[in-house]
Amino acid sequence: MKKTVIALAVVLVASGGIHAQTTKKDSEPESTGSFFFGGTGGPDAFGYTYADSTNPECAFQWVDITGSNPAGHGDDTGVAVALGGAGFDFYGTLHNSLGFASNGYLTDAAGDLTDFTNDCPQPNATDPSPTLAVYWDDMDAGDSPAADGFSNYFAVCPRPGPPGLQGCNVFQWNTQHFPGDAGNPIQEMFQAILYDSYHYVLQFDLTTEAGSSSTSGGENDTATIALDYACNAAASINPPLAVCFFHPNPIPVELESVTVE
Ligand SMILES: [Ca+2]
Ligand SMILES: [Ca+2]
Ligand SMILES: [Ca+2]
């Protein structure tokens, strides 16, 4: 009798060990929070506020840059992109380049460009920080030839920004969710428009999960301040949708150095 009990225990331990080795990449969130209020939000401790396209001050105006300066995105990859114009101030840090990650976010050019698990909610000290999360989720641009990331600078932004402040850098993702599908060219289309004025806009033209497993929002360099629009919230990202983030001190760099005689 005693021998039988011991044998059964050994079988159970062995079975548990095998099961623990099984992981599924796409089901490993960084955290299990959920966040969505919509409409308007903020200010955060830095002073950012947001308004989405249910408000008149934030119209959805898609700027299609498909084909412009392809990043060569694959699954969990990223590239550094030099910004046009005078740079972009994000939480008080002036960026002249940004890291363009295939998983739907921007961060420092030298930062972690491969993170496929979205932080939710932010701030979250897990890298990367800062994050300008447009639609941060486990995307996969590695299977369809049509899937990639694109970027461009416009001295006069096709999507008009705040009066008198018209240049913009645009980053666009035409991609798929992991594990990708060569037979379904594009599942997700979203973009970030970074104005010379420091304001930024997230726009969503096509999504399949509607925000249920993604983060959209901004986090500062030290992961102490953030303003999320939504993260891991079902039916929160419904195209056509724009979300405008307003910098508390929207002064373009080229005007800061102007001296009046
Ligand atoms: Ca992560
Ligand atoms: Ca972080
Ligand atoms: Ca991915």
- By mean pLDDT, which of 51-60, 124-133, 175-184 is the weakest? 175-184
Q: Which ligand is nearest to the CA of 77?
A: 3
What's the CA gap between 38 and 53, in Å, rounded?
10
**In percent, how much of the chain has pLDDT > 90?**
75
Q: How far apart are the CA of 150 and the centre of ligand 3, in A?
A: 17
pTM for the complete prediction? 0.86
Across-strand partners of 148?
174
Q: Which ligand sits closest to the CA of 114?
A: 3
Q: Report whether pLDDT(2) > 50.
A: no
179 Cα to the center of ligand 3, angstroms = 8
Q: Kindly state the helix (H) or strand (E) to which residue 17 belongs, with its residue range.
A: helix 2-20
Q: With beta carbons less than 8 A apart as the criterion, state whether 228 and 243 touch.
A: no
Structure tokens belonging to residue 91: 């939480």
What pLDDT is attached to residue 23?
36
In angstroms, what is the span from residue 104 Cα to ligand 3's centroid? 9
- What single DSSP character describes residue 143? S
Is residue 252 very low, low, confident or very high in pLDDT (cuts 50, 70, 90)?
Answer: low
Distance CA 30, CA 52 (A): 26
For residue 5, the SS3 value is helix
**Average pLDDT of span 51-57:** 96
pLDDT at residue 11 is higher than 80: no
Mean pLDDT over 231-253 rounds to 90
Determine the length of the chain.
Answer: 261
pLDDT of residue 33: 83
Name 44's Cβ contacts closer than 8 Å, sequence gap at least 6.
225, 226, 227
